[in-house]
Chain A
Amino acid sequence: MIPVTPRGFKDILPTEARWRERIITAARQTLSLWGYDPIETPTLEVLEVLEQGGQLSSTPFRLFDVDNELLVLRPDVTLQVARMVASRLDVADLPLRLRYVQPVFREEQSLRAASRQFTQIGVESIGLSGALADAEVLLLAIDVLEVCGLKDFTLCIGTVGVLRLLLDACVSTSVVNEQWRDEMLAACHEGDAVRIEGLSRIEGLDSRLTQALRALPKINGHEDAIHRCRNLAEPLGLTDGLDQLQATWEIITKVGAAQQTRVDFSVISSYDYYTGLVFEVYAPGLGVALGSGGRYDRMMRGFGKDIPAAGFAFSLEAVMRAMILQGSDVQEETNAAVTVLEAAAAKAAGPEAIDPQAATDVFLRAARLRAQGTRAVVVDATTRPVQKES
């Protein structure tokens, strides 16, 4: 029997690994140019601790250690960074711009083509708020994806503020309860217009509120979408987050991001996590978001600090799949050629033995080549030649 990896886990062989390395190097360089510093977080966390920052939006792998502590493999890096910043760093260090490249692990049902490990490339902007900080995360997301080599992609941006206020307004009438809010939120989260419609048909609920609830997730476009949302929310006095979204939109479009950006008020992602800007990144043919981000100003409260934060992360594997689907010209490394230096046999000692002097020379020559940036491999001329790497 051929030994296999667990479902949803894979080996990465050199062809793929080299491509990954090039993308990661380009991404790291770009994020560094934006002023973001690298961090690493542990693979395992105590579940109870991580959940102080918010509900986990995916199912983590869980295990008990010898201390009977319930641990999880990190399903996401953002909560870890919140924990780290709240517990390890000082307010005087703010603002912080942090970046990471780390694998995350999530349980997925079988037979649905889902990996259970993928690599997140992401950033956290901590201690900054306002349209400028939001615009930075969006522009940086576009920049890093382009640098990775992805040509065609769309950021769908929105804000969770309006929906939050709408639901609050509905619940405050006492016509509907918290359970209704949860159901409505789930329906909005799933983009289930039919269920939103059904849930909004409640006797006694202000029809302006229910019409707004039905209309909001359908608002999609460019700047016009923000205006349409404003027309809907302003008469109700529920414009939270719209001014900031508008200001952010103006900045990013003036900087030249209009082509890659759409406004969509159905984007709410994990709602209990985000507090303002929220966005998802899509690429043609991929079917699912390759990355997402937004603002989560309340996350650190769970860890005892009140610090605004925003961030963005994308899946390296999803970007690679999108690039293949887009027929992107995936350039092989230009300096991939390997110079092969052969250590000759010692004539006197017969064809089986290496001449010690020849071996020394060949290693020294190889070292000189490497110092010049040429890949050099030493092989034994007395045995069958090693197949050259392409």
Chain B
Amino acid sequence: MTALKIALPKGALYEDSVALLKAAGLDTTGLDAPDRQLMFDRGDWMYFIVRPTDVPIFVSLGGVDCAICGRDSLAEQGLAVSELVDLGFGACTFVVAEPACAGHSAEEHYRRRGVMRVATKYPNITQRYYDSIGTQVEIVKMHGNIELAPLCGMAERIVDITATGKTLRDNNLVVVTEVLDSTARFIGNTASTRTDPRVRELATRLQAIVVPAPQKGDTAVD
């Protein structure tokens, strides 16, 4: 049998992801300090270290069988993958934020101009959120340092992800409202999940680690 291919996101979720797989009994030798190596062949498991925003496409196209991925990337890209386990770590929140000194200027823009300008790295989540509350927005897609957009007047507000709120505070921004919570997920390619029992077995092992004890009766037919 060929090795099960697993994608791991570089960056904030990486260390917790490796620790979790190790706790589940997988051979993660070398993953602790990957240096520049992107692929690790460990017999039964083959690991691919990818950019967090690329994880969904690797999984949906079947480049890998399964992966660990933030809910944020999944929600933004809307690709077809099977979300199997909420891993609990990597918690963060999508928020709408604006400069602390903004007062009601964003509402004023909206009242007089009929539209609000919002900068974000997550245009799809942003559009869906504003659609859901019926507010017309002009979305500016950025690639980083979103905080600058309202500070220089390019946009009234931002939609960004925050774990501790420190970056927002450091840049004198305040949260207007929360949009969406995100944690890390164990996800499977749908074809692999249905045809390769190892994906569901791994999901069950991970579920057992992240959730204390399942409620009575929950696992009767698993």
A residues adjacent to B (C-beta < 8 A): 112-113, 154, 156, 190-195, 197, 207-208, 211, 214-215, 218-221, 228-229, 231-232, 262, 264, 266-267, 280, 282, 284-289
Contact = CB atoms under 8 A, between A and B. Distances in A.
Given A154-B195, A156-B195, A220-B200, A195 B221 contact: no
A77 B154 CA distance: 49
Contact of A193 (B85, B195, B197): B85
B221 A219 contact: yes
A190 B218 contact: no
Nearest to A266: B194
Given A156-B195, A285-B62, A191 B85 contact: no
B81 to A, nearest CB: 8
B86 interface: yes
Contacts of B200: 218, 220
A211 B220 contact: yes
Contact of B82 (A113, A191, A207): A191
A280 B194 contact: yes
Given A211-B220, A262-B194, A288-B190, A190 B62 contact: no
A287 B61 contact: yes
A156 B185 CA distance: 24
A288 B83 contact: no
Contacts of B85: 193-194
Q: How large is the interface on B (under 10, 10 to 19, 20 to 34, 35 or more residues)?
A: 20 to 34
B151 interface: no
Tell me if B's interface is mostly helix, strand, loop or mixed: mixed
Given A215-B221, A288-B61, A156 B82 contact: no
Given A112-B57, A193-B84, A194-B86, A262 B217 contact: no
B39 interface: no
Choose among B61, B84, B194 the residue with the greatest number of A CB atoms under 10 Å from its CB.
B194
A325 to B, nearest CB: 10
Contacts of B62: 285-288
Contact of B221 (A194, A228, A288): A228
B165 interface: no
A154 B191 CA distance: 9
Contacts of B57: 112
B83 A195 contact: yes
Contacts of B80: 190, 288
A390 B218 CA distance: 63
Given A220-B197, A267-B194, A288-B62, A232 B86 contact: no
Contact of A262 (B60, B192, B195): B195
11 contacts: A194-B84, A194-B85, A218-B200, A218-B222, A231-B220, A282-B191, A282-B194, A285-B62, A287-B60, A287-B61, A287-B62
Contacts of B114: none
A229 B61 CA distance: 30
B194 A220 contact: yes
Contacts of A220: 194, 197, 200
B195 A287 contact: no
Interface of B: 57, 60-63, 79-86, 185, 188-195, 197, 200, 203, 215, 217-218, 220-222
Contacts of A197: 86
A192 B82 contact: yes
A235 to B, nearest CB: 11
A156 B218 contact: no
A193 B83 contact: yes
A207 B220 CA distance: 13
Contacts of A154: 194-195
Given A191-B84, A193-B203, A287-B191, 9 more contacts: A112-B57, A154-B194, A208-B217, A211-B217, A266-B82, A266-B194, A287-B189, A288-B62, A289-B190
Nearest to A233: B221
A282 B83 contact: no
Contacts of B195: 154, 156, 262, 282, 284
A313 B185 CA distance: 33
A190 B83 contact: yes
A215 B220 contact: yes
Nearest to A290: B191
Contacts of A231: 220-221
Contacts of A232: 220-221
The 8 closest A-B pairs by CB, nearest first: A287-B62, A191-B82, A282-B191, A192-B83, A194-B86, A156-B194, A154-B195, A215-B221
Contacts of A288: 60-62, 80, 190-191
B57 to A, nearest CB: 7
Given A192-B83, A193-B85, A287-B60, A211 B194 contact: no
B83 A207 contact: no
B61 A207 contact: no
B222 A215 contact: yes
Contacts of B197: 220-221
B14 to A, nearest CB: 21
A313 to B, nearest CB: 17
A211 B218 CA distance: 6
B88 to A, nearest CB: 11
Contacts of B63: 287
Choose among B191, B215, B222 the residue with the greatest number of A CB atoms under 10 Å from its CB.
B191
Contacts of B188: 191
Nearest to A287: B62
Given A112-B57, A287-B60, A191 B193 contact: yes
Contact of A191 (B190, B215, B217, B221): B190
A133 B84 CA distance: 34
